[in-house]
Chains A and B, each alone.
Chain A
Amino acid sequence: MDFINAIIVLLNYTIIPALTYGSQLALGAIFVTLIYGILRFANFATGDMMSFGTMFAVLLTYYFQSLGINLGIFPTALITIPLATFMMILYMLSIDKFVFEYYRIKKSPPVQLAMVSVGVMFVTQAIIRIIIGPADRTFLDGEKFILKASEFKEITGLNEGLTIKSTQAITIVITMIAVSIMFWFLNKTKTGTSMRAYSDNEDLALLSGIDPKKVVLITWIIAGILATIGGVLYGLDKSYRPFVYFNNMLPIFAAAIVGGIGNPFGAFLGGYVIAFAEIFLTYAYKKFFTYILPEALEPNSMMQILSTDYKFAVSFSILVIVLLFRPSGIFKGKTL
């Protein structure tokens, strides 16, 4: 019995939150990796682009709520995702047209494009703050919990409760759907194959008649979809605050590089690696050990490897270690 209780503790406080957070990071990391692999630059505007898409979802949610439209037990934000994604893609394409295209045609070095993306980051941040302001906003409605701790205890008769928030379930399910569709697209369709070819060897791809304009367009569209979904899911799960999105860019980068930048599957797993590491290393295991150890051995400290203050620092340290020992990432991305 104690053993099951211990497992429930782990599930409730580490595994489910880590899966949720990991899914959100994974979506962002695939976004970074796609841009890096196909457009060939590190996009420092990642966090703010995700924030931009989410902003539309938040505004539309408020608008729909004022009209009385909702999805019942599901959050209203889900119906706003397609519209928000559309706005996001429009924004990305116009940024590409007015800013990035020039450097791409000139074949500027990646550093210059990264620098330009810093400019885009500033501008995007300004637009977001001018439109919606820097405040913290929650836009979650509908049913908050799928399973409450008290219900779980009643059903199973265990000491420990298991809570599953609806946002956690939605996040994991939607991520799985979105990512599977994306991988299917990349691996099985002709356009997807041409994108991978373009990413592997640009000259050879151009030689075999792949239209670079189309590849770039599709890349931005996929990136826009992933960025908006990732942003909205994160906002639903926590809350929407522009500054936090900017900060999230850092663990997202870490996830993309750890997984092997330029490799979408690596980025997907990298997100979970980062999330699990962050949560496992900063969780206080006291409760867990009181269940599995005999009474004589019970710990009296918190059994925490690192204070939760260092949550972000954990992911960055992993990145540094990976860069040191396996610079191309766990799943062999582009070489450095």
Chain B
Amino acid sequence: MKQYLNVITAYLIMFTLIILVGIFQSWSLALTILNYCLISAVMTIGANIQWGYAGLINFGIMGYTALGGLAVVLVSVAPVGEAWSVGGLNMMICLGVIIGIVFSIRLTLKKIAKSKKRNYLITAIIIIGILLLRLISAPAIESIEAVEPAKTGFLGGLGLPVLFSWIAGAFLAGGLAFVVGKVALGLRADYLAIATLLIAEIVVSIIKHEDWLARGVKNVIGLKRPAPYEINLQQSPWFIDLIEKFHSGKLALINSVSEKQDVLNQLVIDASSVYVKLCFTGLFLTVVIILLIVTQKALYSPWGRMMRAIRDNEEAAGAMGKNVVKQHLLIFILGSAIVGIAGAMMVTNDGLFTPGSYRPMRYTFVIWVMVIVGGTGNNFGAILGGFVVWFLWVEAAPIALFFINLFTAHLPETNEIRVHLINSAPYFRFLVIGTALLVIMRFRPQGILPEKIIKN
């Protein structure tokens, strides 16, 4: 019990803070923060597997998050029949061509010995393949994007329930991680960081500009959700009854019938949004708990010990007969797949897919700050980091505003410095996050909850 005391205290403080937000701001906001904290926690679990367990630095989190989001569109949106009929066949042929390119390259790599001739052959295959792709896809893309451009203009998805997309997101992200890992894992740590960062940018720019796939920057809105819609809740009698019962004391104080109805309506509207968010919280919490159990088990299994051995001394682990390259690739795929789940969860939570919003600042660097602040190599730490940093990220602006008002209280309302500072309050979040990272790196490099090695 005693060894878990710091974990319990840290989490208690965190939940108290969220409850304080509920009391002072609103419960709906508190739940929004909590939901995003949980999503961030999933991302940090993924990043922590790579960095904390294996020492792989992956700055491409943004790419995997975006792919997870893409999975939601591809899985849950109903297929657009007209688009499929005008361009579906060509796009399928393109998919075939891509598979053909990959396999012919693999074949050449296998059959022909390393030489200049082989390189030329591969280049030729790629160039011919790309020309073929352009030729086949160009007319199809044009006609797909012409199908009701304001509403659809893309192929749509499979029309399956949205929860499947979380799994699909994991597979998509894992698939990308396999390719990236094959290409980049041999690089030294900081090169790997740069390479993954840039590859993630390529992925996002493809998602942004291939409109036939997921409407690109035109966004996909009104995605399915695994929770009831507010508007349906507000009309269902059982929900209204529940709210009436819940607030019966408060309602009994009001005498006039019409006024009572008004108050009740307002309460139902408020409660419906809270209820929906609670549904999401339940789902996310399930995911986090499952992942936490699995990753904890993995960390203290022989496999986890091997990963730590590889992290701490690659040469020694290799000399003991462990396949370092294979294990690195495996853990790179696993971590990225978890990040993919988080990306899908986030898009599901928002109900819309906005490729334009994927920026490295928010989806890569903030996640990294979470892992480092929370504690590398410790899953409880990583999750706590997700909570703390997300909380700071959201609440930094109101807190900064409070302090600005406090310190400039003696200045008149129209004072230029005061007005300027109040306008720039949102940017204090960067300052807070950056300072938090610098302070932690300097004075507690192992994070708030450091890695624990259990020896038995």
Contact = CB atoms under 8 A, between A and B. Distances in A.
B187 A327 contact: yes
Contact of B427 (A102, A111, A126): A126
B193 A42 contact: yes
A127 B442 contact: no
B434 A319 contact: no
Interface residues on B, range: 35 or more
Contacts of A122: 365, 369, 430-431, 433-435, 437
Contacts of B191: 42, 257, 323, 327, 336
A170 interface: no
Interface residues of A, number: 45
Contact of B434 (A114, A121, A310): A121
A220 interface: no
Contact of A320 (B198, B424, B445): B198
B251 interface: no
A118 to B, nearest CB: 6
B202 interface: yes
Contact of A323 (B187, B197, B201): B187
B140 interface: no
A198 interface: no
Contacts of B194: 42, 253, 257, 319
A229 to B, nearest CB: 23
Given A122-B433, A129-B427, A307 B209 contact: yes
A41 B193 CA distance: 12
Interface in A68-118: 99, 102, 109-112, 114-116, 118
A34 to B, nearest CB: 15
Given A120-B434, A126-B430, A129-B430, A313 B183 contact: no
B11 interface: no
A116 B441 contact: yes
Contacts of A120: 434, 438
A60 interface: no
Nearest to A36: B190
Interface SS of A by simple majority: helix
Contacts of A295: none
Contacts of B441: 112, 115-116, 119
A44 B184 CA distance: 19
Interface in A312-335: 312-313, 316-317, 319-320, 323-325, 327
B255 to A, nearest CB: 53
A119 B434 CA distance: 4
A254 interface: yes
A112 B190 contact: no
B313 to A, nearest CB: 13
Interface string A6-42: 0000000000000000000000000000000000011
Interface of A: 41-42, 44, 99, 102, 109-112, 114-116, 118-127, 129-130, 133-134, 246, 250, 253-254, 257, 307, 309-310, 312-313, 316-317, 319-320, 323-325, 327, 336
28 contacts: A42-B190, A42-B191, A115-B368, A118-B368, A119-B438, A119-B441, A120-B438, A122-B430, A122-B437, A123-B438, A125-B361, A125-B427, A126-B430, A129-B430, A134-B427, A250-B198, A254-B198, A313-B202, A316-B201, A319-B195, A319-B198, A320-B199, A320-B202, A323-B183, A323-B187, A323-B195, A324-B183, A336-B191
Given A115-B372, A122-B431, A122-B437, 7 more contacts: A109-B189, A115-B441, A119-B369, A312-B201, A316-B198, A320-B183, A336-B186
